[in-house]
Amino acid sequence: MTNPEPPPPPDPGRDWEGALTAEKSKSVSVSRRSGSDRARSASGGPPPTELYAKQKTVHNQRIDGPFRRFKWFVMVVTLAIYYITPWIRWDRGPFAPDQAVLVDLANRRFYMFNIEIWPHEFYFVAGLLIMAGIGLFLVTSAVGRAWCGYACPQTVWTDLFQHVDRLFDGDRNARIRLDKAPWGPSKVARRASKWTVYLLISFVTGGAWILYFADAPTLFVDFFTGEAAVVAYATVAILTFTTFWLGGFMREQVCVYMCPWPRIQTAMLDEKSLIVTYKDWRGEQRGSLKKAKKNPDVYGDCIDCLQCVAVCPTGIDIREGTQIGCITCALCIDACDRVMEDIDRPRGLIDYATLEGCEKEAAGEAPMPILKQLLRPRTVIYSLVWGGIGLAMLFALGTRTHTDLTVSPDRSPPFMLMKDGSVRNAFTLRLRNMESRPREMEIAVLGLPGAQMWTDRIGRDAAAPTQVVTVPADETRTVRAYVTVPSGTNGREFQFQLTSLDEQREQDAETITFTAPGDER
């Protein structure tokens, strides 16, 4: 039921949005309609109103090619990072965990190799998230939905599960047959074993997640001996279920209906972003190889073999143009290139291209080099912002000290008169030691003549202008400090100074007010 009308010549003056719409409508109008569409057009009336759409199972065909191999590579790398990372050890001495990447929620520490982040430094995490956001903008504006096509966990796990399908049920046609076959012992056995493997993969996925939050070898043993925390089992159960359900059954539905990212990307793509597209001016009028041989002037390069549809992991027809279901995994490029090779036509009927490049190519101009199209103000600005934030964070990370002092004075009572007439103020000092070893730190009172200080851990007998406190490894120690000045001293500002008594001699100081009688009147 193909439309015999030849495609209209592309109008070089049209804008890119118009191009997209025109391309879309044109492709649909000439593409082979599905059965219901055909019935619809035959009756001539409006389509029957369906309130709910049934999910069509996608049985994608095996394909090999440069993009498929790249996808394999990305899959192996990302899965390896996910599963292996918690097992990498990193020596931090006796006072800190030896796990390279650890989110220690109980102690509120985040370890990543030689970087350790405390909760008050959460801006580093915020910075990383901002970088991830801008990174996605950059990737989208340059190479379109590359994240969706290769690196998104939903894509990677769906891909993995589709390989499991192929392993148990065979390739596309065998799977379609099995789907239609009535339930019998063989089908039950196949489904049961396949879903068992799904479950195993899902369990390992959920299991690996919790290893990032505790010492992996310990938790691994605890988990299987029933010693782990309830939250660990609950997390594994939830993640096993979501992986099983989203990767095994929902698949492309996640991309089309649940995920906000494709919607955002729809707004972010422009005429200069790389997309996977069908070059309709070259492919149309499509027709079988036989017809094309008989009538080479009418028919284009597309022989309507539907290989691009068969290999698509989301089950779309790329010849209908850019659409929400297209994750730009480029498997259709592999499929089409292979067919073009077989029938001795140039590759790239379906290819990575920009809409602008397409327009030029359709108008008969030479195709623009991809790299030249990528370098433009938008991508350059994104790169600069992305790199700038990264450098700023590295700078902040490099110059931060591992010592910090905060002082809060007792406000009630603001001062205390002692027997001998001297005046005492009390302060709560927080000494932060971010090194993973205990450190001696000296607290000194500066700018307060005659001041004596003692802490809640020593008596007044040991009062002196400076005190030494040992701060445990990787901890903040709260010290109550009492400072007295002789009778008759007026209130004034003074400084607490903290010095680490090691080779670093890191310092921090805080200026604070000493309150004396008469100050508040």
Partner 1 sequence: MADTNDKRVDQPTGTEFVGHEWDGIEELNTPLPRWWLWTFYATVIWGVVYVVLYPAWPLIEKGTEGVLGWSSRGELAEEMALADLARQSVYEQIAATDIEKLPASPELMQQAIAGGSAAFKVNCVQCHGAAAAGFEEYGYPNLNDDDWIWGGTLSDIEYTLVHGIRWEGSNQTRVNYMPAFEGILSDQELDSVVDHVLSLSGNGQSSAAGAELYTNNCSSCHQPAGEGSQLMGSPALNDAIWLYGDDRALIRQQILNPKHGVMPGWGERLDPVTIKMLAAYVHSRGGGEAPAETAPEEDNPESIATMADASDAPAVEGDDQP
Contact indicator for 312, 331 with CB cutoff of 8 Å: yes
Q: Cis (ω within 30 of 0) for the bond into 413?
A: yes
Nearer to partner 1 among residue 12 and residue 472 (C-beta): 472
- Of 6, 388, 421, 486, the one binding partner 1 (CB under 8 A) is 421
Output 8 or 184, the one with its CB closest to partner 1. Answer: 8
Q: Which C-beta is closer to partner 1: that of 303 or that of 423?
A: 423
Q: Does 171 bind partner 1 (CB under 8 A)?
A: no
Q: Which of 8, 9, 42, 52 binds partner 1 (CB under 8 A)?
A: 52
- The Cα–Cα gap between 112 and 291 comes to 62
Contact flag: residue 419 with partner 1 (CB under 8 A): yes
Beta-sheet strands, E only, within 177-324: 275-278
> Cβ atoms within 10 A of the Cβ of 45, count?
8
Select the span of 123-131, 140-148, 155-163, 455-463 touching partner 1 (CB under 8 A).
Answer: 455-463
- The residues with which 103 forms a beta bridge, in sequence order, are 110
**Does 57 help bind partner 1 (rule: CB under 8 A)?**
no
Which tokens in the block code for residue 499?
């010095």
Shortest CA distance to 432 belongs to which of 398, 392, 464, 476? 476
Query: Which residue type does 78 have?
Result: T
**Is 457 among the residues that bind partner 1 (CB under 8 A)?**
yes
Q: Which one of 137, 213, 244, 482 is in contact with partner 1 (CB under 8 A)?
A: 482
Kindly state the smallest distance separating residue 41's Cβ from partner 1, in Å: 9
Task: List the beta bridge partners of residue 453.
Answer: 464, 483
Q: Give the bridge partners for 116, in sequence order.
A: 111
Is-contact 247 161, C-beta < 8 A? Answer: yes
d(CA 161, CA 164): 5
Position among 344, 420, 503, 520 found at the interface with partner 1 (CB under 8 A): 420
For residue 513, state whether it binds partner 1 (rule: CB under 8 A): no
| Neighbouring-strand partners of residue 498 | 443, 508
Q: Does 106 bind partner 1 (CB under 8 A)?
A: no
β-strand pairing of 507-514 with 492-500: antiparallel
Nearer CB in complex with partner 1: 421/447: 421
> What gap in Å lies between CA 146 and CA 267, rounded to an integer?
15
Q: Does 35 bind partner 1 (CB under 8 A)?
A: no
Structure tokens at 136: 């996605």
CB of 426 to partner 1, least distance (A): 6
Q: Which of 39, 181, 188, 417 binds partner 1 (CB under 8 A)?
A: 417
Q: Which of 122, 257, 363, 501 binds partner 1 (CB under 8 A)?
A: 257
Q: How far is CA 172 from CA 59, 60, 124, 175, in A?
A: 5, 6, 47, 5
* Closer residue to partner 1, CB minimum distance, 340 or 355: 355
Single out the segment in contact with partner 1 by CB under 8 A; choices: 46-54, 191-199, 220-228, 230-238.
Answer: 46-54
Residue 47 contacts partner 1 per CB under 8 A: yes
Coil, strand or helix: which one is 21? helix
487 counts as binding partner 1 under rule CB under 8 A: yes
Measured distance CA(332)–CA(311) in Å, rounded = 6
Q: How far apart are CA 467 and CA 451, in angstroms?
A: 12
From residue 194 to residue 233, the character string flagging contacts with partner 1 as x (rule: CB under 8 A) and all else as - is: ----------------------------------------
Virtual CA dihedral for 182, 184, 190, 194, nearest 10 degrees?
Answer: 70
- What is the phi/psi pair of residue 178, to 5°? -65, -40
Under the binding rule (CB under 8 A), the answer on residue 408 touching partner 1 is: no
Site for partner 1 in 297-336 (CB under 8 A): 320
The answer to whether residue 290 forms part of the interface with partner 1 (CB under 8 A) is no
Region near partner 1 per CB under 8 A, out of 342-350, 365-373, 398-406, 453-461:
453-461
- Least distance (Å) between residue 107 CB and partner 1: 17
* Rounded to 5°, angle at Cα 409 from 403 and 411: 160
The SS3 assignment for 396 reads: helix
> Any contact of residue 55 with partner 1 (CB under 8 A)?
yes
Residue 224 CA to residue 135 CA, distance in Å, equals: 39
Rounded Cα distance between 58 and 364, Å, is 37
Q: By CB under 8 A, which span of 23-31, 235-243, 345-353, 431-439 interacts with partner 1?
A: 23-31
Site string for partner 1, 123-162 (x = CB under 8 A): ----------------------------------------
Q: Does 372 bind partner 1 (CB under 8 A)?
A: no
304 and 30 in contact (C-beta within 8 Å)?
A: no
Give the interface size with partner 1 as a residue count (CB under 8 A).
40
Residue 54 in contact with partner 1, rule: CB under 8 A: yes
Site for partner 1 (CB under 8 A): which residue of 13, 46, 182, 185? 46
Q: Cis link prior to 86 (omega < 30° from 0)?
A: no
Over the window 458 to 477, marking each residue x when it contacts partner 1 by CB under 8 A and - when it does not, the resulting string is -xxx----------------
Strand order in 101-104's β-sheet?
Answer: 101-104, 109-112, 115-117
In this complex, which beta carbon is closest to partner 1, that of residue 95 or of residue 249? 249
Binding window for partner 1 (CB under 8 A); candidates: 74-82, 233-241, 276-284, 409-417: 409-417
Q: Which residues bind partner 1 (CB under 8 A)?
A: 21, 24-25, 28-29, 37, 40, 45-47, 49-55, 250, 253, 257, 320, 410, 412-413, 416-421, 424, 426, 456-457, 459-461, 480, 482, 487
